[in-house]
Amino acid sequence: METPLTKNMRADKSPVALSDYMSTGGYAAVTKTIGKSSPAEVLQVVKDSNLRGRGGAGFPAGMKWSFVPMNEDDPGHKYLVANADEMEPGTFKDRLIMEQDPHQLIEGMILAAYTIQADVGYIFIRAEYHYAIRELKKAISACHDKGFLGKNILDSGYNLDIHVHVSAGRYICGEETALLNSLEGKRAHPRAKPPFPQVSGLWGRPTIVNNVESLACVSHIVNNGADWFKSLGIGEDSGTKLFGISGRVKKPGTWELPMGTPIRELVEVHAGGMQDGYKLRGFLPGGASTDFLTEAHLDLPMDYDVIMKAGSRMGTGQMIILDDKTCPVAMVENVVSFFARESCGFCTPCREGLPWVEKVLHAIEVGEGVPEDLQILERQGRFIGAVGNTHCALAPGAIEPLTSALKYFREDFEQHIRDKKCSYQ
């Protein structure tokens, strides 16, 4: 099994230096592309590969890039932004790339920026990633010294500078237009769309925002071709993916596996199964803002469309396990509490609705709930979760664990209300 994203990573987790990265074929894609292939040719390879965004939405990267206007008579800047905010609870995959193989991200950014003819790139990273920030800055400096960044890259006439921007640290900054507002020094409120960032993004200029893992795939696609990348996936989706699991499994962590890897294989083989004395009851398949699935879904492949049809989302592909000794009410309360705190406060359903849901859940958890509370939670779930009722996707994602918990674990909510206590304590 080929593992292009992790092939350079070492057992001691030390970062890969520029010389070591180049010794394994690093920057070969940049050398053979910049000034030698047209941006349109690179774009076509990425489109043909069916690379889907690894940040959660799964939107085809090549299609997204194709929306950038390629007007040679427009002398203004274009921007490429790597979304390295990674504040989705339970998600820790991009950190792996940035800390251990930062040049993989830098090379992918150079190729993506060349494709849309961007001359400025930013890595928008959460402030808590101190080690990753340091390694990215070192990698960028090394690339300048080698001629892979700066003016007239490889004597091609193409110019590109990449900067590391340390985020102020809010979950909402992971939403691409809120990220752009934050990068401009404004409050991190999501923007109304249209216009979309590909046409009017950072400082009103054409901008592409992609996830770290998405960009890390680009050099491998350019080097090996679209058909090779598609062959790495087991099902309909192309490539490999950094899948992860947290919770009461024997070996929590992150692994690079083919897209379409069965959930059962992830849990029972790579994560080693449940810890002794615990049983699997459910899981959030793609981070904290996805719907619960249960043991009945273990044989489904981790595939964007399949997981969607099952009633959830693959999201970041980072799974959070619910075991039989953890209270689902308390777990959902914890998740909703996080999202209520991280709301930007722009729209009423999110600003007022999520704290209300959190308050009701807390009352149920501590034994103060009443039967009518379930009707309140269901009504809020329908309203907050409806597309178009909120300014962005934060609130609908935040409510997904609750609505699915009421579907699969309703007896736990009813027990809390009936017995006036949590039976898991």
| Owner of token pair 């790597």 | 82
Does 388 score more than 90 pLDDT? no
Does 236 score more than 90 pLDDT? no
Calpha distance 145→54 (Å, rounded): 30
Does 202 score more than 80 pLDDT? yes
CA distances from 207 to 34, 195, 203, 423 (A): 20, 11, 9, 51
CA distances from 60 to 55, 66, 92, 144 (A): 11, 10, 22, 30
Residue 63, helix vs strand vs coil: helix
SS3 content of the chain, % helix, strand, coil (to 5): 45, 15, 40
Q: What's the pLDDT at 377?
A: 96
Calpha distance 260→344 (Å, rounded): 34
Does 161 score more than 90 pLDDT? yes
Could you tell me the pLDDT band of residue 259, with boundaries at 50, 70 and 90?
A: very high
14 DSSP assignment: P
pTM of the model: 0.94
Does 94 score more than 80 pLDDT? yes
CATH 1.20.1440.230 placement within the chain = 328-419
- What is the average pLDDT across 220-249? 95
Q: What's the pLDDT at 57?
A: 80
Does 195 score more than 80 pLDDT? yes
- Condensed to tens digits (0 to 9), the pLDDT of residues 310-336 reads 999 999 999 999 999 999 999 999 999
Residue 227 dihedral angles phi and psi, to the nearest 5°: -65, -40
Calpha distance 109→87 (Å, rounded): 21
Q: What percent of the chain has pLDDT over 90?
A: 90
Q: What's the pLDDT at 186?
A: 93
CATH 3.10.20.600 placement within the chain = 245-323
- Which residues neighbour 376 within 8 Å (Cβ) at sequence distance 6 or greater? 360
Residue 222, helix vs strand vs coil: helix
- Contact call for residues 220 and 229 (beta carbons, < 8 A): yes
Does 425 score more than 80 pLDDT? no
The answer to whether the Cα torsion of 308, 313, 316, 322 is positive or negative is negative
| Owner of token pair 């194709």 | 66
Q: Give me the CATH code for the 328-419 domain, please.
A: 1.20.1440.230
Does 82 score more than 80 pLDDT? yes
Q: What's the pLDDT at 261?
A: 96
Q: What's the pLDDT at 74?
A: 77
Question: Could you tell me the two tokens for 382?
Answer: 């329908």
Its CATH class, for the domain covering 245-323, is alpha beta
Calpha distance 285→279 (Å, rounded): 17
- Which residues neighbour 334 within 8 Å (Cβ) at sequence distance 6 or greater? none
Q: How many Å separate Cα 218 from the centre of its chain?
A: 16
Could you tell me the pLDDT band of residue 265, with boundaries at 50, 70 and 90?
A: very high
Q: What's the pLDDT at 177?
A: 95
Q: Give me the CATH code for the 18-231 domain, please.
A: 3.40.50.11540
- Condensed to tens digits (0 to 9), the pLDDT of residues 41-81 reads 999 999 999 999 998 888 999 999 999 999 877 778 999 99
Q: What's the pLDDT at 62?
A: 93
- What is the average pLDDT across 396-420? 96
Does 375 score more than 90 pLDDT? yes
Could you tell me the pLDDT band of residue 168, with boundaries at 50, 70 and 90?
A: confident
- Condensed to tens digits (0 to 9), the pLDDT of residues 102-115 reads 999 999 999 999 99
- Condensed to tens digits (0 to 9), the pLDDT of residues 244-258 reads 999 999 999 999 999
As a whole number, the mean pLDDT across the chain is 94
Does 27 score more than 90 pLDDT? yes
Cα dihedral: 114, 118, 119, 125 (round 10): -100
- Condensed to tens digits (0 to 9), the pLDDT of residues 106-140 reads 999 999 999 999 999 999 999 999 999 999 999 99
CATH 3.40.50.11540 placement within the chain = 18-231
Q: What percent of the chain has pLDDT over 70?
A: 100
- Closest among 330, 311, 327, 340 to 400, alpha carbons compared: 311
Q: Identify the helix (H) or strand (E) that includes residue 28.
A: helix 28-33
Does 149 score more than 90 pLDDT? yes
Q: What's the pLDDT at 260?
A: 95
H helix count then E strand count, the chain: 19, 9
Does 169 score more than 80 pLDDT? no
Residue 219, helix vs strand vs coil: helix
